[in-house]
Amino acid sequence: MVSLVQNSRAYREAPAAEEKLQTFLSEVVGIDLAQYNITNVGSGINYPSMFGGLVKEEGACFYLESNGSKISVHGTFYNGLVYSITVYPMEGSIIYTQQPSTNAPDETRNILQRYQAFAKIYGIDASHLTPAVGMLSSVKSSSLNTTLNTLNNITGFVPSVRVADNVKQVTTQTGVKWIYTDKGVDMPDKCTVIDFGGNELLFVDTWNLYTVGCFSVISEDEAVEIAFAAAKSYNLTLIGENDTLIPVQPDWTNMTYTITLNMIPGQIYNDEVNKATHFVNPGNATRDPLALYPLWETVFYFSKSIGNTVGIAVGVWGDIKEIAYLTPYGYLGGSGVTPPTPTETSNEPTVAPSEAPTELENSNPSASLYLTGVAAAVAITIAAAALALKKRSK
């Protein structure tokens, strides 16, 4: 067998994804590639429409096979940056040039430091890794590892949260995530992740991919005021026999709500699928696909559920004060669902960055009635929201 990656080799200006992935495996993970054959290679280049053609996506995947060891690896690179890499041993153990530490914080630190050297080779800005390495000193190792199914039977972590300057470190039982935070708002899409759960290594680094587009110019109370005016304008109807429409008036007497401020990638609202469905309204603004924008996400709960619908979900752009989405909110299954108890404002996302809230679907195809909604006045702005609303009250 021959080594496909050597420490002394010269790297091309724009190395292929396959080569870059092999280098990562050798220099960052520490796999002894000289002991493996590389098989089932697949790779490709794409320019995802959701990024408006601004991102060159390069992907590569293959198996590393040796006597008694088989590893599945996959890597994705955006504009030359590492987006995500997974290493999963399918058979046997991984053969390393030097056996890794089984102490979770120590091995995490080793990977970060080796990644700093890797980043330098490829001209990747690694300045965000310096505080991450320093913050690891506060992370404690857990003795629990037999039930976690971690890579190499590595010890677990003691879950914790720490914030230093613009970095929020969140530790779970199996991994660590460093999130960019500013003005008290977390931005989970701009992050670095190392996780050993599921008997695999997951490495993610989107820190350099996204920038901050802008911050919210409205307060939480102002966002609630705009959103509730939109929720009350929503025309909720039942569709009966012969497709007759039956207007429904929700009871807002004892309305409660939840609200979250998220920083959302502009790419979501430039996506052609969302444009085609007209579900998401980008508002009177041009969204940079690689920037994060403030979106207040609220759910207003009826005093009493209507079928499977328990409320109205509203998104408000925090920079232009316009409605981003307006839709029924409910649960598939039986009626009479008790809405969750509203909690204090959180900066953690309520929906995945690549997903937008969806219309409520009928869970029983045989039912004669199902809920649908027709949005009204989705372009409501703060000037049109005249109703004063006391926080988390009717």
Residue 264, in any domain of the structure: yes
Same domain? For 48 and 172 the reply is no
Whether residue 118 lies inside any domain: the answer is: no
Whether 7 and 57 map to the same domain: the answer is yes
Same domain, 39 and 170: no
**pTM for the complete prediction?**
0.77
Same domain, 360 and 230: yes
CA distances from 391 to 242, 250, 255, 343, 388 (A): 42, 19, 11, 12, 10
Task: Give pLDDT tens digits along the chain (394 positions).
Answer: 333 333 333 333 334 799 999 999 999 999 999 999 999 988 889 988 778 788 999 999 999 999 999 999 999 999 999 999 999 999 999 999 999 999 999 999 999 999 999 999 999 999 999 999 999 999 999 876 567 899 999 999 999 999 999 999 999 999 999 999 999 999 999 999 999 999 999 999 999 999 999 999 999 999 999 999 999 999 888 777 787 888 889 999 999 999 999 998 886 655 555 555 445 566 778 888 899 999 999 999 999 998 888 999 999 999 999 999 999 998 754 433 444 444 333 333 333 323 333 333 332 222 222 222 222 222 222 222 222 222 333 3
Which residue among 151, 185, 209 closes a domain? 209
pLDDT of residue 104: 95
Residues 198 and 324 in one domain: no
In single-letter form, the type of residue at position 231 comes to A
* Residue ranges making up the domain that contains 14: 1-99
Amino acid at 189: D
pLDDT of the residue at 16: 79
Residues 248 and 366 in one domain: yes
What is the pLDDT, as a whole number, of residue 370? 23
In a domain, 215, yes or no: no
Both 331 and 201 in one domain: the answer is no
Pair (289, 347) in one structural domain = yes
Task: Specify if 393 maps to a domain.
Answer: no
Do 192 and 237 fall into the same domain? no
> Which of 183, 209, 235 is the last residue before a domain boundary?
209
Looking at residue 228, its pLDDT comes to 98
Residue 349 lies in a domain: yes
Q: CB atoms < 10 A from the CB of 51, how many?
A: 21
Q: Which of 51, 66, 99 corresponds to the end of one domain?
A: 99
232 plus 354 within the same structural domain: yes
The predicted pLDDT at position 362 comes to 31
Q: Could you tell me if 169 and 79 lie in one domain?
A: no
Contact 74, 200 (CB under 8 A): no
Q: How many structural domains is the chain composed of?
A: 3
Is 119 a member of any domain?
A: no
Task: Verify that 330 and 347 share a domain, yes or no.
Answer: yes
In a domain, 387, yes or no: no
253 lies in a domain? Answer: yes
